[in-house]
Structure 1
Amino acid sequence: MRRSNFPIIVAFAFFTACSPASVEENVDFVIDDAAKSRLDSTLQAYVNSGNVAGISALIFEKDQEVYFNAFGFANKEKNIPMDRNTIVQIYSMTKPITGTSLMTLYEEGKFQLDDPLEKYAPEFANMKVYQGVDENGEMILVDADRPVTIRDITRHTAGFPNRDNIPGLSKVMKEKDARSYENTLTVMAEKIGSTPLWFQPGTQWEYGQSVDVQAFLVERISGIPYADYVQEHVLSPLKMNDTRYVVKEEDLDRFSAAYQRTGEGQLTQMPDSSAHAFNLKKWPLTPGGFGLTSTLDDYMTFARMLVNEGTLNGTTILKPETVKLMATNHLPDTVTERSWLPSKGRVGFGIDFAVRTDPPASQEEMNGVIGEFFWDGAASTLFWVDPVNELTAVLFVQLFPYDGIGLHKNFRDAVYGKFEPQAK
């Protein structure tokens, strides 16, 4: 794996050390001919094996496009190939876009990260915390030790429950149905705020509805509907014209089908009526945690804005110091319960990104460079920003369940070369 010689320091230090202006003409690229060959063979192999219907990838390095290719089909039934302008559901890759929207308000001084959420949203005042159930199956609740903060909802430490196997509490979640497409963000927030927390704020990392609450907070603080706000402050300025909640009828032929992998080399195309249900019409809910569709070039535009410290092609979305703040680990060592986050590699969590804090210790671990920040989506999509090498990568596929085939690991290995632990 190609790496710079650098000390292990906090993630954001790499931005200033590796700005595009410092790059020399003859500097080596991560994506050389060998990497391109690895990428082609890796992605093609997934299609050939029958484990992926269609897949595409786009990589920029040092402000240049260094790799693009697409293999297989966006829709096998209709014989539509996967292409550069294929529209996909990005699911949780919506989250970093929401976080970016929220931080535009932070830059305006509208809030501080350690402000209580209830300061702006009384729906989250006087939260109760789950302690189990009694002999009658009734929930045991105590007062929260402290209010949920905005920092909590940006790093998934708020305590919002997100599992279907918590005695008593999961039943309440199901009954509230906060993520129903028929809910507005305000109704959603009321339902989440009236559901007990699973754990005390700030004590665990648990993925969930925090970024949907961020979208609600943007709407509440700005006074502008969230869908309009993200359009006005992120998507339109960056000319991300194919990134949206509702796919236009004239673009449906570009909208990739979704596939369920049922066994080795076995794929079932999911009905569009169910797989695309959220994106075929306008719903009251405009979630921050999922729901957007995008293309490779659109999402790459977003990633390149981040690697360029908040500005792209003369358009500034965020200040450099804000991007650095987002790309810095905000999880203290005291947060030891981190659900499945360690499966992403040796990472912490910033503001809507996982942040790599240490290199992999073995070839079996997820590959990456200290200082990178990234996220992925339920349909096995992935992106990352590598400030050290000024590299941004976007991988698109529409595969369920989420990456059960080592796709992300092998894609990263194809980019960087397999990690070789240094001799002691």
Structure 2
Amino acid sequence: MRFLTSLFFLLSILSAAAQTSPTIVLHDLKEAEALGSDLYANSRATGLVLVVVRGKQMYFHSYGETVPGSHQAPSLDSEVRLCSLTKIFTTDLLAQFVAEGKINLDDPLKKYAPNGAVVPEKDAVITLEELATHTAGLEREIGTAPRRAPHFSYPDYETRWHWLASTELKFTPGTKAFYSNVGFDLLSDALAEALHTPYPQLLETRTLKPLKMWDTTFFPKSRQCERLMTGAHEEGPCTITANTEGSGGLYSTPADMVKFLSYLVGAGAPAQAEYARDVYLLPSSLKGQYGLDHAGRPSGIGLGWMHLGASGDESHVIEKTGAGAGFTTYIAIHPASHTAIFVAMTEGRAGGWEPGFNLFKASNNGLLALAGLPPFPDRPTRRASARRSLQTRVHANKSSRRKRAMHANQRTVGGS
């Protein structure tokens, strides 16, 4: 009897949690067309694609041209560069392998380094979690790419590990956050070493194939390159980008991103586990953070993800920005309404956004508008900031307990 009572109590909690807040009014996804029009006009893009997924619903719209002068609108099959959205594919794999006990977040990078490689330290070692949260003390890049090197083809494996041996960390790992691309390429190297499998193969077998994302790749075929959106300026060839497999090299299509967004909001099979998007670090616990606030000042740092607002707030958004090779890309999730958006645009001839416009922040506000919620305030009040901070701390404590439990389970099942 006690078991049944407990079961009914648990079911009532789960049922209540599954319902959206009574203050959320879900608007028809077709209203996103106005959002896309605004993004396209103010970004001065050559072409722009917008995907919105809410549960089993999907909305797609495109604006402008696939190629300047083509008079052809982008389609669901248009190829795009994901740029730094690649990082959340890397950390999704990381979270999976941690949950399975194959690696630990606090494993040192040195454990998975090539034989004889030197991994710098500064009062502490670099861990996998610090690579995934931009707190490893590494530079953003290892230096300027060689002239005429195709986008996302530099640095290769040997170059970055050679550079790492001679670099000095910017700060003690875990004390500050500094956005690092090379850190995520080192993370993908570590995953490949830990699983004894080339990283592209890991991504293919664990993510792309199960989600049927057939056009998402580091190795574009000629037919895919022919569909690549291009901006107003020559950005070099469409070519293999496996050298930056962890940080920015992925190509994809809006059709494939429908599948990925469905995975993120739990509407597909499989669905991403929530711990892959949790808050793992509070910016307030750091001595500083740099390069993480393009879409708004983060309230929490996840594994590749940034959190805006406290996890308990109905306006809480989880996001990742990307840019490079003439593209700007963005993914944002609104957990309270189970809605996610993907935006990709190519640079226009005007050479920049309208003054005062921010594509990422405008996308966030459009996402909230689809749930009948007001936009994020430009400058939160002191009381609102304090309330969000408190709620974020509470959530972070829960996440910390979950991580400790996960690690304990890994030790139990023989995880490294």
Are residues 112 and 43 of structure 1, via their aligned partners in 2, closer, same or farther at CA, if it must alter by over 3 Å? Answer: same
Q: Does 1:221 pair with 2:186?
A: no
The alignment partner of 1:285 has SS state of: helix
Specify the alignment match of 2:83 in structure 1.
91
The alignment partner of 2:176 has SS state of: coil
Counterpart pick for 1:375 among 290, 313, 320? 320
Are residues 203 and 394 of structure 1, via their aligned partners in 2, closer, same or farther at CA, if it must alter by over 3 Å? Answer: same
Q: Does 1:395 pair with 2:343?
A: yes
Are residues 146 and 181 of structure 1, via their aligned partners in 2, closer, same or farther at CA, if it must alter by over 3 Å? Answer: same
Q: Does 1:235 pair with 2:193?
A: no
Could you tell which deviates more after superposition, 395-404 or 282-291? 395-404
Q: Does 1:296 pair with 2:254?
A: yes
The alignment partner of 1:381 has SS state of: strand
Query: 2: CA distance between counterparts of 1:294 and 1:151?
Result: 26
The alignment partner of 2:275 has SS state of: helix
Are residues 270 and 16 of structure 1, via their aligned partners in 2, closer, same or farther at CA, if it must alter by over 3 Å? Answer: farther
Specify the alignment match of 1:386 in structure 2.
334
Query: 2: CA distance between counterparts of 1:285 and 1:49?
Result: 33
Query: 1: CA distance between counterparts of 2:112 and 2:20?
Result: 44
The residue type paired with residue 355 of structure 1 is: H
Q: What TM-score do the two structures reach when normalised by structure 1? A: 0.72
Per-residue Cα deviation, 1:63-121 (whole angstroms, up to 9, x for no partner)? 322x3211111112333212222111110000000111222221231221112221222
Query: 1: CA distance between counterparts of 2:213 and 2:308?
Result: 27
Question: Counterparts of 1:15-414 in structure 2 under 5 Å?
Answer: 18-19=17-18, 22=19, 29-32=25-28, 36-37=30-31, 39-45=32-38, 47=40, 51-65=44-58, 67-121=59-113, 125=118, 127-128=120-121, 144-162=122-140, 173=143, 181=153, 184-208=156-180, 209-258=182-231, 269-271=232-234, 275-277=235-237, 279-280=238-239, 282=240, 285-308=243-266, 312-313=268-269, 315=270, 320=273, 323-331=274-282, 333-347=284-298, 348-358=300-310, 370-378=315-323, 379-399=327-347, 405-414=357-366
Query: 2: CA distance between counterparts of 1:55 and 1:108?
Result: 38
Equivalent residues of 2:334, 2:367 under 8 A apart = no
Equivalent residues of 1:380, 1:402 under 8 A apart = no
Identity %: 22
The alignment partner of 2:33 has SS state of: helix
Query: 1: CA distance between counterparts of 2:352 and 2:99?
Result: 35
Are residues 115 and 78 of structure 1, via their aligned partners in 2, closer, same or farther at CA, if it must alter by over 3 Å? Answer: same
Could you tell which deviates more after superposition, 144-153 or 52-61? 52-61
Are residues 345 and 249 of structure 1, via their aligned partners in 2, closer, same or farther at CA, if it must alter by over 3 Å? Answer: same
Are residues 300 and 180 of structure 1, via their aligned partners in 2, closer, same or farther at CA, if it must alter by over 3 Å? Answer: closer
Are residues 77 and 15 of structure 1, via their aligned partners in 2, closer, same or farther at CA, if it must alter by over 3 Å? Answer: farther
- Structure 1 unaligned blocks of 5 or more: 1-13, 129-143, 164-169, 259-268, 360-367
- Give how far 1:324 is off: 2.0
Let me know the Cα RMSD of the aligned residues.
3.5
- Give how far 1:203 is off: 1.4
- Give how far 1:286 is off: 4.4
The alignment partner of 1:288 has SS state of: coil
Could you tell which deviates more after superposition, 229-238 or 340-349? 340-349
Q: What TM-score do the two structures reach when normalised by structure 2? A: 0.73
- Give how far 1:350 is off: 0.5
Matched length = 351
Query: 2: CA distance between counterparts of 1:152 and 1:176?
Result: 28
Are residues 387 and 17 of structure 1, via their aligned partners in 2, closer, same or farther at CA, if it must alter by over 3 Å? Answer: farther
Query: 1: CA distance between counterparts of 2:365 and 2:241?
Result: 40
Are residues 402 and 238 of structure 1, via their aligned partners in 2, closer, same or farther at CA, if it must alter by over 3 Å? Answer: farther
Are residues 175 and 304 of structure 1, via their aligned partners in 2, closer, same or farther at CA, if it must alter by over 3 Å? Answer: closer
Structure number with the higher strand fraction is: 1
The residue type paired with residue 339 of structure 1 is: Y
- Structure 2 unaligned blocks of 5 or more: 1-12, 384-416
The alignment partner of 1:214 has SS state of: helix
Query: 2: CA distance between counterparts of 1:328 and 1:193?
Result: 31
Per-residue Cα deviation, 1:367-410 (whole angstroms, up to 9, x for no partner)? x9554321021022111122211111111212387867422222
Structure number with the higher helix fraction is: 2
Equivalent residues of 1:87, 1:293 under 8 A apart = yes
Equivalent residues of 1:125, 1:147 under 8 A apart = no
Query: 2: CA distance between counterparts of 1:420 and 1:230?
Result: 35
Are residues 287 and 191 of structure 1, via their aligned partners in 2, closer, same or farther at CA, if it must alter by over 3 Å? Answer: farther
Query: 1: CA distance between counterparts of 2:233 and 2:145?
Result: 27
Equivalent residues of 2:90, 2:246 under 8 A apart = yes
- Give how far 1:182 is off: 6.4
Query: 1: CA distance between counterparts of 2:297 and 2:42?
Result: 30
